[in-house]
């Protein structure tokens, strides 16, 4: 479970799942925003018993969450880019590196000096 391959696959799946959840959330917020704006439009057209303040509040809040409001700084979503560097090493070098990591993390380096 702690292998490099497992960690890499887990990170890919977690990223994919996160992107799907974000997409669903944005779609639902947009749907709510559009419904609230439709209610505001109905109120202006018909002057019926729609609670305009409530509709405006919902429209305003959901629009802000979607990034449709004036703000300073970047937009609501920033894509994170990562560059992956893959270097091939022989098994002896890898074994030495792992042993060094174990010595450093267990404090044996300080004892040997």
* DSSP letter for each residue of the chain: --SHHHHHHHHHHHHHHHHHHHHHHHHHHHHHHHHHHHHHHHHHHH--S--HHHHHHHHHHHHHHTT-S--SSS-S--------------HHHHHHHHHHHHHHHHTHHHHH-
Number of domains in the chain: 1
Evaluate whether residue 37 is within a structural domain: yes
Residue 60: exposure state from Cβ atoms within 10 A (0-12, 13-18, ≥19) = middle
Evaluate whether residue 30 is within a structural domain: yes
- Whether the per-residue pLDDT at 54 is higher than 60: the answer is yes
Evaluate whether residue 79 is within a structural domain: no
Evaluate whether residue 96 is within a structural domain: no
Nearest to 58 by CA among 78, 75, 38: 38
Evaluate whether residue 35 is within a structural domain: yes
Q: What is the mean pLDDT of residues 7-34?
A: 85
Evaluate whether residue 63 is within a structural domain: yes
Arithmetic mean of pLDDT over the chain: 75
Evaluate whether residue 28 is within a structural domain: yes
Q: Which domain holds residue 40?
A: 4-70
User: According to the model, what pLDDT value does residue 24 have?
Assistant: 87
Q: What is the pLDDT of residues 60-84, one digit of tens each?
A: 777 777 777 655 555 555 566 777 7
Question: What band does 108 get if pLDDT is binned at 50, 70 and 90?
Answer: low
Q: What is the mean pLDDT of residues 22-39?
A: 83
Evaluate whether residue 15 is within a structural domain: yes
């Amino acid at each position: 479970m702690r292998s490099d391959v497992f960690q890499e696959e887990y990170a890919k799946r977690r990223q994919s799942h996160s992107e799907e959840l974000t997409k669903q959330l944005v779609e639902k917020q947009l749907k709510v925003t559009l419904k609230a704006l439709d209610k505001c439009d109905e109120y202006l057209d018909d002057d019926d018993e729609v609670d305009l303040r409530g509709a405006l509040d919902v429209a305003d809040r959901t629009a802000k969450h979607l990034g449709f409001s004036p703000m300073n700084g970047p937009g609501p979503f920033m894509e994170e880019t990562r560059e992956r560097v893959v270097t091939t090493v022989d098994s002896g070098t890898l074994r030495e590196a792992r042993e060094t990591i174990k010595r450093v993390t267990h404090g044996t380096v300080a004892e040997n000096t």
